[in-house]
């Protein structure tokens, strides 16, 4: 009957098998569960499904021959969304499943809206990189992890050279194009698990997890070359852009220091790179133990 009205049907001959199916990746989100089943009954199955912390909701329609109000309450308290008593009319089953589908569509829209709000709260609107607050939060988390694991963390504080001149000569819309393309190049120049954030204006902060000084030096040069090696294509034509970088490696140690100390050293190194002629990497004079 369900196949006839357009559903793809997956069946289970006992409650335990049904629980396994509903717990698997890509599980059905609309379920028709009998109350009486071997190994695990309907209310027990409902409780197991609801104990999961999945982002995607499973709508449960409980099928039962029980008619008492107390039984209905037990089923709904266990986690069922609706119930249908046997015997039932096929049209009623179809109508109740359609209700479930409407609720699931609404739930999907709410999840989508929540994720969109979460993205906007943690990402820069222009470049889609982590915003300042988010990249600093990630840095704090990475420093805490590195202290526990006794591993290194490296920071690259990057600044586009003469960016004000780009805005003055070509306009802010072109300047926005440059920021967007530079952001993509920065992401492409680091590993997938490294974090790139827009620190402010034309400044970017890159957190290199588990990166010792030797590796940091090569990665910093890769980042610099990724920006300066090829002109940035824009609506008004290609523009040559370079980047100055201040770099620091934070080695593992016994004491956790505030992130302001590391950012200050990276910023000092960046200032030296600017003063020395730009388009270069300057490394902090000393490593800092955490």
Residues noted as catalytic: 202
For the purposes of burial, counting CB atoms within 10 Å of the CB of 287, is it exposed (0-12), middle (13-18) or buried (19 or more)?
middle
Judge if the upstream peptide bond of residue 87 is cis by omega within 30 degrees of 0.
Answer: yes
**3-state class of 159 per DSSP?**
strand
The rounded distance, in Å, linking the Cα atoms of 64 and 164 is: 71
The rounded distance, in Å, linking the Cα atoms of 222 and 216 is: 10
For the purposes of burial, counting CB atoms within 10 Å of the CB of 198, is it exposed (0-12), middle (13-18) or buried (19 or more)?
buried
Cβ(198)–Cβ(133) below 8 Å? no
The rounded distance, in Å, linking the Cα atoms of 236 and 166 is: 11
C-alpha distances out from residue 76 to 13, 16, 69, Å? 22, 20, 11
Cβ(277)–Cβ(241) below 8 Å? no
Cβ(60)–Cβ(31) below 8 Å? yes
The rounded distance, in Å, linking the Cα atoms of 216 and 219 is: 5
Pairing relation of β-strands 243-251 and 288-289?
Answer: parallel
The rounded distance, in Å, linking the Cα atoms of 214 and 191 is: 16
Neighbouring residues of 88: CB distance < 8 A, sequence distance ≥ 6: 63
């Amino acid at each position: 009957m369900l196949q006839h009205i357009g559903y793809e049907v997956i069946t289970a001959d006992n409650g335990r098998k049904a629980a396994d199916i509903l717990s698997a990746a890509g599980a059905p989100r609309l379920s028709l569960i009998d109350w009486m089943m071997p190994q695990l009954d309907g209310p027990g199955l409902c409780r197991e499904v609801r104990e999961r912390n999945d982002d995607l909701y499973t709508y449960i329609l409980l099928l039962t021959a029980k008619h008492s109000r107390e039984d209905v309450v037990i089923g709904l308290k266990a986690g069922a969304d609706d119930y249908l008593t046997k015997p039932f009319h096929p049209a009623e089953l179809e109508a109740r499943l359609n209700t479930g589908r409407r609720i699931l569509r609404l739930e999907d829209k709410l999840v989508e809206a929540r994720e969109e709000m979460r993205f906007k709260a943690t990402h820069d609107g222009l470049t889609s990189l982590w915003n300042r607050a988010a990249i600093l939060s990630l840095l704090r988390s990475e420093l805490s992890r590195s202290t526990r694991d006794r591993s290194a963390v490296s920071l690259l504080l990057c600044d586009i050279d003469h960016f004000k001149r780009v805005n003055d000569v070509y306009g802010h819309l072109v300047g926005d194009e440059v920021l967007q393309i530079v952001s993509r190049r920065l992401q492409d120049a680091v590993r997938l698990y490294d974090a790139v954030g827009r620190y402010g204006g034309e400044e970017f902060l890159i957190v290199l997890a588990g990166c010792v000084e030797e590796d940091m030096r090569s990665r910093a040069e890769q980042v610099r070359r990724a920006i300066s090696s090829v002109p940035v294509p824009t609506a008004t034509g290609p523009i040559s852009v370079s980047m100055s970088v201040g770099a620091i490696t934070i080695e593992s140690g016994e004491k956790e220091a505030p992130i302001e100390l590391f950012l200050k050293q990276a910023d000092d190194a960046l200032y030296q790179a600017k003063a020395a002629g730009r388009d270069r990497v300057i490394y902090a004079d000393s490593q800092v133990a955490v």
